Structure 1
Amino acid sequence: MNEENESICLNRSLAELDLFRNLDDIDVTADGSPILRFLICLIYSVVCAAGLVGNLLVLFFIRIRKERRKSKVNFCVLNLAVTDLQFVLTLPFWAVDNALDFSWPFGDAMCKIILSVTVMNMYASVFFLTAMSVTRYWSVASSLKNRTVHKSCSAKWMCAIIWILATLATAPTSIFSTVSNVTGEKLCLLRFPGGQYWLAVYHIQKIIVGFVLPMSIVSISYMMLLRIIRNRSMKTSNPKRRSKVTKSITIVVLSFFICWMPNHAITLWSVLVKLNAANWDQAYYIVHTYVFPLTVCLAHTNSCLNPIIYCLMRKEFRDKLRRLIHRG
């Protein structure tokens, strides 16, 4: 009896594998188990609640009109909080989508809006994190120079450029996102007229622009910053300061890498499959069905972690939070 059940499950999996092998012109996740869908909905709910509280606290502490003028980093933190706040507001839609086994109930217009907002804020969040790393390095490096340094672009211009770049990077999503009827179910997904080739190009852009380049810039900026602080600490005999900054930077880089790397790694595997550089086999099907949705959840938690990392790790924000709690 057990062998018969295993045979039935195997035949069903192979049939589903053949089905999804033919769907090479769209981006679709195979059906997961009800337990997995429930787990994803639960994670989305927790991330949404934590992200709302965390990012609203950031907006409250920065107070938009006062704190943002004190430094370029604070202005970036403000925009990052707005970005992550917009992002977590899309999570209830994706939770419902997962609960209904990826059947999109909100119509074509909302599919295009929600998918575009999700992708745009993913790019914007990563770009702001990158800009903050470069800004931190540049501000420290400039303060140590005796000669007059050239004035860098204003925080408003920098943030405006980031929003423009995020919008341009999201253009393919806005154009090609649609509700498609797949095996009798209405799915919110991307559908390119050129088939799997352009879908692979889309994912390559996402990997390079949304992860590889930002991760490289963040790592290089913070490594250069650590070198400056190390040299300065040796001259001033202040190893405590160096240790504190090193710990902060390590947490920033590791959280960014850990949250996004698994998702982009599986996406890269998907690109290789679409370009026929790797086989679409049972292992890929299992990973794409059961592991990939969890990596998406992990990536989404980055929007919850950002306010904790960039604000609660800073003493002035922790003091404000204590005063707020004691006042309550």
Structure 2
Amino acid sequence: KTQTNSSSSPALSLDDIDVSADGSPTLRILISIVYSVVCAAGLVGNLLVFFLMKVRRGRKKRSSINLFILNLAVTDFQFVLTLPFWAVDTALDFSWPFGNEMCKIILSVTVMNMYASVFFLTAMSVTRYWSVASALKDRTRRRVCPVRWVIAGLWVSATVASLPTAIFSTVKNVAGERLCLLGFPDGQSWLALYHLQKILVAFVFPMLIVTVCYLLLLRFVRLRSMNNNQVKRRSRVTRSVTIVVLSFFICWMPNHAITFWGVLVKFNVVNWDKTYYMVHTYVHPVTVCLAHTNSCLNPVLYCLMRREFRKKMKDLFWRISSPTGTNTCHLRALRQIHRCSCKNSKAPDRSSQLYVAC
């Protein structure tokens, strides 16, 4: 949002457009409020992920997918911490009040965690397919993936991808306002290339990888499914995969589509006209807001949709809402009875169905 303030075109100037230059104050205030709500929801959701991961850590070693979920929560947590600054910036009509150093820090952290979040989502898709496929194939050929090295590599990649932002972000005076934006030395060409690589690295390539991995996963599960339990499992996988891919696409596609439109304008492929100005003034802030909501959707999609974490959530809410006396003892007794009934059952299929139902 702050990177488009320097755009211009020799074919048409702002004076030729008979509309307000600062957009709608009502829209800006509304977006600032949404930023604040997303920040609060993201903080609560990602802190909840940290808590659930801590509770789970004491029982068994973290799996690869859980390590990715934990790092995804870290990136989203850092990302939502920047939203109050952007809320103030938007409410003040993009007039940056925090100084040049904070402009560099906040803009760099925002972009770095955007890349990191997308990278971890992509890595989780690859890991999910690899784990399911390798588990049903020859187990003797399974190799332990150095997950921590992969995670470190993803953080380094996100940092490298955000270096142009850290170098060229600055506060500039534009029409009497101090704006936090990217100031490339060669103007529009460098800015267009920057946006183009961001579209490719942060959306197009990850979206292709995520789609291919989940299509292969669905195909693999469909071919391997045989009995009723596996059919139910396949339907759950299909539903979760569809939600994951659609949420990623819906949250990010509108913003990157308008950004790509801006790239075409900067390369003089299309004209800078009133339609482009109106879209950037009124629609683009909404798409940025939609993209930011992905940071509070991720904890729900990648943690709370899983049965084991939903069970821990129920236990947590039960402990919070119930007294520490008789109800706690009663809950423990019920759990003990359930474990004993499952252990003494002579029909393993029915006990597994009981576990799934729980």
Q: TM-score, normalised by structure 2?
A: 0.82
1:312 CA drift (Å): 1.1
Match for 1:163: what amino acid? W
Match for 1:56: what amino acid? L
Give distance in 2, aligned partners of 1:68 and 1:213. Answer: 34
Match for 2:86: what amino acid? W
Match for 2:240: what amino acid? S
Q: Which residue of 2 aligns with 1:56?
A: 47
Match of 1:104 among 75, 96, 113: 96
- CA deviations 1:171-227 (Å, max 9, x no partner) are 100000000000000000001001100000000011000000000000000111111
Give distance in 2, aligned partners of 1:42 and 1:87. Answer: 17
Give distance in 1, aligned partners of 2:235 and 2:50. Answer: 29
Native 8 Å contact 2:170 2:182 kept in 1: yes
Question: Is 1:258 the counterpart of 2:236 in the alignment?
Answer: no
Question: Is 1:87 the counterpart of 2:79 in the alignment?
Answer: yes
Give distance in 2, aligned partners of 1:68 and 1:125. Answer: 26
Sequence identity percentage? 68
Give distance in 2, aligned partners of 1:146 and 1:18. Answer: 60
Give distance in 1, aligned partners of 2:171 and 2:158. Answer: 23
Question: Is 1:77 the counterpart of 2:56 in the alignment?
Answer: no
CA RMSD of aligned residues (A): 2.0
Structure 1: gaps (5+ residues):
1-15, 24-29
Native 8 Å contact 1:312 1:318 kept in 2: yes
- CA deviations 1:63-122 (Å, max 9, x no partner) are 185478331000000000000000000000000001111000000000000000000000
Give distance in 2, aligned partners of 1:146 and 1:235. Answer: 21
Native 8 Å contact 1:207 1:264 kept in 2: yes
SS in 2 for 1:32: coil
Match for 1:132: what amino acid? M
1:152 CA drift (Å): 4.4
1:231 CA drift (Å): 1.0
Match for 2:65: what amino acid? V
- CA deviations 1:36-80 (Å, max 9, x no partner) are 011101110110010000000000000185478331000000000
Match for 2:26: what amino acid? I
Question: Is 1:148 the counterpart of 2:137 in the alignment?
Answer: no
SS in 2 for 1:148: helix
* Alignment of structure 1 residues 178-189 onto 2, 5 Å: 178-189=170-181
Match for 2:104: what amino acid? K
Q: Which residue of 1 aligns with 2:284?
A: 292
Native 8 Å contact 1:17 1:285 kept in 2: no
Native 8 Å contact 1:62 1:68 kept in 2: no
Native 8 Å contact 2:12 2:273 kept in 1: no
Match of 2:318 among 308, 318, 326: 326
Give distance in 1, aligned partners of 2:174 and 2:129. Answer: 49
SS in 2 for 1:271: helix
Structure 2: gaps (5+ residues):
1-6, 15-20, 321-358
Question: Is 1:191 the counterpart of 2:178 in the alignment?
Answer: no
Give distance in 2, aligned partners of 1:225 and 1:144. Answer: 12
Match for 1:229: what amino acid? V
Q: Which residue of 2 aligns with 1:315?
A: 307
Moved more, 131-140 or 236-245: 236-245
Native 8 Å contact 2:134 2:142 kept in 1: no
Q: Which residue of 1 aligns with 2:116?
A: 124
Q: Which residue of 2 aligns with 1:272?
A: 264
Structure 1 residues 322 and 150, CA gap change in structure 2 (3 angstroms): closer
Native 8 Å contact 2:75 2:113 kept in 1: yes
Question: Is 1:249 the counterpart of 2:231 in the alignment?
Answer: no
Give distance in 2, aligned partners of 1:238 and 1:312. Answer: 22
Q: Which residue of 1 aligns with 2:26?
A: 35
Q: Which residue of 1 aligns with 2:202?
A: 210
* Alignment of structure 1 residues 233-244 onto 2, 5 Å: 233-234=225-226, 238-244=230-236
Structure index of larger Rg: 2
SS in 2 for 1:180: strand
Structure 1 residues 18 and 158, CA gap change in structure 2 (3 angstroms): closer
Question: Is 1:163 the counterpart of 2:148 in the alignment?
Answer: no
1:287 CA drift (Å): 0.1
Give distance in 1, aligned partners of 2:299 and 2:239. Answer: 17
1:310 CA drift (Å): 0.7
Match for 2:245: what amino acid? V
- CA deviations 1:9-48 (Å, max 9, x no partner) are xxxxxxx98899669xxxxxx6221100111011101100
